[in-house]
Amino acid sequence: GESVGLHLPTLSVQEGDNSIINCAYSNSASDYFIWYKQESGKGPQFIIDIRSNMDKRQGQRVTVLLNKTVKHLSLQIAATQPGDSAVYFCAENIDTSYGKLTFGQGTILTVHP
Amino acid sequence: EPEVTQTPSHQVTQMGQEVILRCVPISNHLYFYWYRQILGQKVEFLVSFYNNEISEKSEIFDDQFSVERPDGSNFTLKIRSTKLEDSAMYFCASTRRTGAGEQYFGPGTRLTVT
């Protein structure tokens, strides 16, 4: 029979390029955001987070940008490596909740050597 | 580095059977969660648990689901009478702080209902 599922956005880059993964979040009341990386067969792995009182935060090789006006979040990966190949999810949370994370659709990143 | 562990890694069960998925959260964490991910889809929140009670649950978490922290280390998800549509990856997560706190996810249990 047919398989039904979401067709995730995909991004293919060459090793060494910079990658930008975008996410539109849904709830204007959300005030905490996380990017997770999920490799095949594994659980989501924390990459970087940002609170709503910031518009940019940098980590090691990664930068998250937050635009609350248009409810947009992006993850920039510098000098992308083959080990960065995975599905990337953004997740949002309202600080007054008990930590419930609402995940976005995900983007498949493929890095070619 | 401490990590969340889950057992079993794969569970196959027949429709109508009860299953218990087990998790050991990180030891000094106080907030615990179950999420599920149907193949090829996004991760969905099921339930959060704090101070030995459910603090929030989603529409998916109906009367067939229950959670328990039977001792100081384990956190379990029980599905009383499994349905085909319960087939998914189930992830446990924990954090020290609610809300703006990084949630650490376990490797997941793949549940297959036949």
pLDDT tens by residue, B47-101? 999 999 999 999 999 999 999 998 878 999 999 999 999 999 999 999 987 655 7
Question: pLDDT tens across A65-90, in order?
Answer: 999 999 999 999 999 999 999 999 99
A47 near A59, Cβ under 8 Å?
yes
Which of A41, A46, A89 lies closest to B102 in CB terms?
Answer: A46
CB within 8 Å of A29: residues ≥ 6 apart:
A94
pLDDT of residue A89: 94
Q: Is A34's CB within 8 Å of B45's CB?
A: no
Q: Dihedral sign, CA of A101, A94, B102, B64?
A: negative
pLDDT of residue B99: 57
B19 near B111, Cβ under 8 Å?
yes
Q: Is B48's CB within 8 Å of A42's CB?
A: no
Confidence of residue A4 (pLDDT cuts 50, 70, 90): very low
A95 sits in the region (left: phi over 0; alpha: psi -120 to 50; else beta) called alpha
